[in-house]
Amino acid sequence: MYPLKFKPIYKERLWGGTKLKDLLGKEAKGDAIGESWELSAVDGDISEVVNGALKGTTLTQLIKTHQEKLLGDAVYNRFGNDFPVLIKFIDAKKDLSIQLHPNDELAKKRHNSFGKTEMWYIMQADENAELIVGFNKNVSRTEYVEHMNNNALEKILNYEKVKEGDTFFINTGKVHAIGGGIVLAEIQQTSDITYRVYDWNRKDKDGNTRELHTELALEAIDYEKKDDFKVNYQQEKNKVNTMVDCPYFTTNYLNIEKSQTFNIEKRDSFSIYLCVDGVAEIANEHGVEKIKRGETILISAVTKEVKINAFSQAKLLEVYI
């Protein structure tokens, strides 16, 4: 159970661009690649190992074979053979649709799926780039529908300008959209359930508008204005800086200079490392693997220690359950 790297799964999107290739060095082909799924067990998009003796093995095959050794006892007892998180890098050349995600209860009832709580770490942002996160005031369901019907939804939305390093936690039910000119890392529950409520009246290459989920969204939306989305976190070097700690995942910020060793024996969970800047080597008792900006590594739950050797300096996001 050496450090595992996986083949990225590229997604062409109406709003995508070329920064995954130009900025992160991805081997994505095309001028509208919006997403690189780094670690996925979503049906139809299962990640595959690309390094070492397990090359060619899928994530689902690994889980079925190694179970608690890969996931951890507590994680396996909770999720079984379902991998609970989905890791992506996203390039928004243009604005994404305004959307939201249902909570666990509603997603289970309607789609037999997990809900979709997620977080974003901004890796690059053009000048004046911004996100939409929540409402700018408390709104009623009736008021929301009125704005929707009058094509005036933008008037009640909250806009946030962003820069590199900014981090946002997106609860289920919160309306949101990634604005154009942003590259980010996304950590989320394993779910592909999205309710699109507004898409700027744009059309695809065939002249068709994309499906909206207006009625499905009404019951799922959180209509209250909440300032609970901007994540404030420490950035101490060579320390574990907690960013998000929620029932679905914990994410830490690691700013490593030279070499650091972390004991994770009591974690009882797999660990994921996303490199958001720099280059490093990540080693456990069974092997070592190089990681650079825009790459992801999975470490098994049986790992006792993780050693991170930065090539001058590296910034990583560490994710576990």
Return d(Cα 316, Cα 257) in angstroms, integer: 11
Determine how many CB atoms are found less than 10 A away from the CB of residue 143: 14
Answer whether 78's CB lies under 8 Å from 86's CB.
no
Give buried/exposed letters for 269-284 (b at 16+ CB in 10 A, else e).
Answer: bbbbbbbbbbbbbbbb
Q: Please tell me whether residue 287 adopts helix, strand or coil conformation.
A: strand
Answer whether 11's CB lies under 8 Å from 35's CB.
yes
User: Which one, of 204, 236, 180, lies nearest residue 34 by Cα?
Assistant: 180
Give buried/exposed letters for 14-29 (b at 16+ CB in 10 A, else e).
Answer: bbbbbbbbebbebebe
Please confirm, yes or no, whether 293 is among the known catalytic residues.
no
Answer whether 34's CB lies under 8 Å from 318's CB.
no
Q: Please tell me whether residue 193 adopts helix, strand or coil conformation.
A: coil
Return d(Cα 98, Cα 100) in angstroms, integer: 7
For 59, the token pair is: 């994530």
For 265, the token pair is: 């024996």
For residue 173, is it left (φ>0), alpha (ψ between -120 and 50) or beta?
A: left
- Catalytic residue, chosen from 141, 196, 202, 210, is 196
Return d(Cα 78, Cα 320) in angstroms, integer: 14
Return the beta strands (E) in 195-237 as ranges: 195-198
Return d(Cα 207, Cα 275) in angstroms, integer: 38
H or E segment to which residue 79 belongs: helix 73-79
Active-site residue set: 196
